[in-house]
């Protein structure tokens, strides 16, 4: 009883297996002969049937040949993002071409010219898996269904197209911003198979075509090229293919930034702001409120202008060309403010500055070290024309040669007292203090004599002039009117040659 039941059971199981086997047998490997009578979809399901086609195996798994995958791309759209994102957006159609001998159907269906399908066909045949190493994100495009097209030629040549969009990294070097040129690239690499199994190649002619309506707002496309290479699998142990070299494709394009926007929105306004800060030199030296207001407001407006520019840039550690410009302009505006402070301080000085010569060197010297100049004057006078100094101390001529101005109204005039050399002095003065001169060491006289002997212009040595503080202030302002624009011009020449010639 028990035994017969087990026997029955075994019989049933055996019979079932046999019948299953037979049903699979009849279902498997449907005939391909006279394939012209089938519809495309029917024919393909027969061609790529499980029994004769394994889409997980390489097209050349039998011969162990290298599979060559030829690529080409059509680029619709390139949009470099804002500089601080360091990436760009690309819309492109990528077409891959390879030959799968298992799909050659010309002998079965001689009438058929092409099998064309979309995603469903793609899911039935082998296709290389490529990835974009420098992608930030990428996706297949398509609204309803993804834009994938696959077509199989009678010879087994498969064309696989997909429309993609990608945001790709581009490590821009912004040292010359905004006069920079950037080279960005799209890389394609084999994901699964190493270079000894799968080789990627660009199509022979025109592998990358660009849409004629490529609108690059901020850039112009200068050049583009393609390269084929073999890269070391860096995450080798993670990849299926194991350690080894992987075939890779690269499409590189060179973009030049359009400077027009930056010129109109940054460089020219900042030049104007710097020029505005020079207005201060035409104002009175003691006109503190307008001059301070002018200085600070130009500084503030320039910083506002510059910071709106800086916001669009990544915070890189190196100095960019735009920052050199910023520092230069800030320096000029700051210098104009400092000039005012300097001039204002001098303006309010009490003492008249004695000057050896009316010459920028001596004027600046006297303003920076007024006491020193004064001392020098006294020393000089004692050394060069002792008669004179003595005469002033003792004679009645003091009122004429006095260094201090006579009255308050005197300040406004340039009082140039030229002290002529000893030889030109009226004899009266020397005589009046003759006794004092004799007390001086003889060396001084020698010095005088030798001086008059040697040179034609000894008077220059002993010519001292004076300027009132107000005159000096006005003098400095006047010079600044010329000096600042000239220096800014020099800065500009240096800057623009650096930008365009280096």
Q: Can you give the binding site for ligand NAG, defined by CB under 6 A? A: 17-18, 21, 25, 194, 196-197, 225, 227, 230, 232, 241-245
**Which of 52/232 has CB closer to ligand NAG?**
232
- List Cα–Cα distances, 286 to 26, 297, 306, 353, 412, in angstroms: 110, 18, 31, 19, 14
**Which of 231/487 has CB closer to ligand NAG?**
231
Backbone φ and ψ for 381, nearest 5 degrees, come out as -65, -40
Burial label, 326 (beta-carbon count in 10 A; 0-12, 13-18, 19+): buried
Least distance CB 304 / ligand NAG (angstroms): 44
Least distance CB 66 / ligand NAG (angstroms): 11
**CB environment 435-458: b (16+ within 10 A), e (fewer):** ebbeeeeeebeeebeebeeeeeeb
Taking CB positions, which residue lies at the least distance from ligand NAG? 244
Which tokens belong to 107? Answer: 């002998």
**Which of 28/434 has CB closer to ligand NAG?**
28
**Which of 51/107 has CB closer to ligand NAG?**
51
The H or E element containing residue 384 is: helix 370-384
Least distance CB 236 / ligand NAG (angstroms): 9
**Which of 197/305 has CB closer to ligand NAG?**
197
Q: What does the angle CA 187 – CA 168 – CA 134 come to, to the nearest 5 degrees?
A: 45
Q: Which of 252, 263, 253 is nearest to 179 (CA)?
A: 263
- Measure the CA dihedral 480/484/490/494, to 10°: 140
**Which of 230/436 has CB closer to ligand NAG?**
230
Least distance CB 315 / ligand NAG (angstroms): 30
Residues 88/171, Cβ–Cβ less than 8 Å: no
**Which of 233/458 has CB closer to ligand NAG?**
233
Least distance CB 210 / ligand NAG (angstroms): 16
Number of CB atoms found within 10 A of residue 169's CB? 16
Least distance CB 229 / ligand NAG (angstroms): 6
Residue ranges with strand state E in 61-100 = 67-80, 87-99
**Which of 241/370 has CB closer to ligand NAG?**
241
Least distance CB 230 / ligand NAG (angstroms): 6
Least distance CB 10 / ligand NAG (angstroms): 13
* Residue 264 per-residue DSSP state: I
């Amino acid at each position: 009883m028990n035994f017969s039941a087990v026997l029955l059971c075994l019989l049933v199981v055996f019979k079932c297996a046999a019948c299953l086997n037979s049903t699979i047998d009849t279902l498997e490997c449907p005939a391909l002969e006279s394939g012209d009578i089938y519809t495309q979809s029917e024919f393909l399901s027969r061609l790529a049937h499980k029994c004769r086609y394994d889409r997980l195996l390489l097209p050349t798994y039998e011969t162990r040949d290298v599979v060559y995958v030829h690529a080409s791309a059509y680029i619709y759209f390139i949009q470099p993002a804002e500089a601080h994102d360091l990436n760009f957006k690309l819309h492109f159609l990528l077409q891959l071409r390879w030959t799968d001998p298992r799909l050659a159907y010309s002998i079965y269906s001689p009438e058929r010219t092409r099998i064309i399908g979309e995603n469903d066909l793609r899911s039935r045949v082998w296709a290389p898996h490529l990835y974009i190493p420098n992608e930030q994100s990428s996706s297949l495009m398509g609204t309803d269904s993804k834009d994938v097209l696959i077509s199989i030629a009678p010879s087994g040549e498969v064309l696989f197209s997909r429309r993609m969009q990608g945001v790709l990294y581009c490590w821009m070097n912004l040292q010359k911003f905004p006069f920079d040129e950037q080279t960005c690239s799209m890389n394609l690499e084999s994901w699964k198979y190493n270079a000894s199994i799968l080789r990627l190649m660009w199509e022979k002619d025109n592998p990358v075509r660009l849409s004629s309506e490529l609108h690059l707002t901020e850039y112009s496309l200068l050049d583009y090229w393609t390269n084929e290479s073999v890269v070391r699998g860096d995450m080798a142990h993670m990849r299926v293919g194991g350690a080894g070299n992987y075939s890779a494709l690269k499409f590189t394009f060179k973009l030049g930034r359009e400077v027009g926007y930056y010129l109109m929105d940054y460089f020219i306004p900042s030049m104007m702001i710097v020029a505005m800060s020079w207005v201060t030199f035409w104002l009175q030296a003691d006109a503190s409120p307008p001059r301070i207001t002018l200085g600070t407001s130009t500084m503030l407006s320039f910083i506002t202008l510059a910071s709106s520019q800086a916001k669009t840039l990544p915070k890189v550690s190196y100095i960019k060309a735009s920052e050199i410009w910023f520092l230069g302009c800030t320096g000029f505006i700051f210098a104009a403010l400092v000039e005012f402070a300097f001039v204002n301080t001098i303006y309010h000085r009490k003492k008249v500055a004695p000057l050896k010569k009316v010459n920028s060197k001596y004027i600046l010297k006297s303003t920076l070290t007024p006491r020193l100049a004064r001392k020098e004057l006294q020393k000089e006078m004692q050394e060069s024309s002792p008669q004179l100094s003595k005469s002033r101390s003792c004679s009645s001529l003091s009122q004429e040669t006095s260094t201090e101005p006579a009255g308050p109204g005197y300040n406004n005039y340039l009082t140039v007292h030229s002290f002529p050399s000893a030889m030109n002095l009226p004899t009266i003065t020397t005589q009046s203090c003759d006794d004092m001169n004799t007390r001086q060491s003889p060396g001084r006289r020698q010095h005088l004599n030798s001086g008059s002997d040697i040179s034609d212009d000894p008077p220059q040595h002993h010519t001292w002039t004076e300027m009132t503080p107000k005159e000096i202030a006005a003098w400095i302002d006047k010079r600044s009117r010329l000096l600042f624009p000239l220096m800014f011009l020099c800065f500009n020449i240096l800057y623009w040659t650096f930008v365009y010639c280096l």
